Amino acid sequence: MSKLTFLYQMDLLHRAVAVYTYLYERANKNGECWPSVNTIAGDIKLSPATVRRAMKDLKNAGLIETKQRYREQGGKSSLLFRINHK
């Protein structure tokens, strides 16, 4: 059985399933990855706004956490995504 079977049994929109699967496949052994919203959107053929809505869906479902990352000079960098495995 797939490690993501639980995901397909949840009441999530397809956008959230697509984004979670994308993040899951790119996460390191600690469940972390940091692709930009635009990279995610381009890779899975969704708009950046749809990816942001999917991220909100996943946060509400308790499947991901995000943390803003910053450059040494203080400017914003990409988000750190942490996958919460069920």
Domain span holding position 47: 5-83
Examine the pLDDT at 86 and tell me if it is beyond 70: no
| pLDDT tens digit sequence for 9-61 | 999 999 999 999 999 999 999 999 999 999 999 999 999 999 999 999 999 99
- Count of beta carbons in the 10 Å neighbourhood of residue 32: 15
Q: What is the mean pLDDT of residues 65-69?
A: 89
Tell me the residue length of the chain: 86
Q: Assign residue 19 the CATH number of its domain.
A: 1.10.10.10
Q: What is the mean pLDDT of residues 53-82?
A: 90
The rounded Cα 30 to chain-centroid distance in angstroms is 14
Which stretches of the chain are assigned E, i.e. beta strand? Answer: 32-33, 64-70, 76-83
74 pLDDT band, cuts 50/70/90, is confident
For the chain, the domain total comes to 1
Q: Per the structure block, which two tokens stand in for 73?
A: 């000079």
Q: Which residues contact 22 (CB under 8 A, 6 or more apart)?
A: 35, 40, 43, 44
More confident residue, 78 or 28: 28
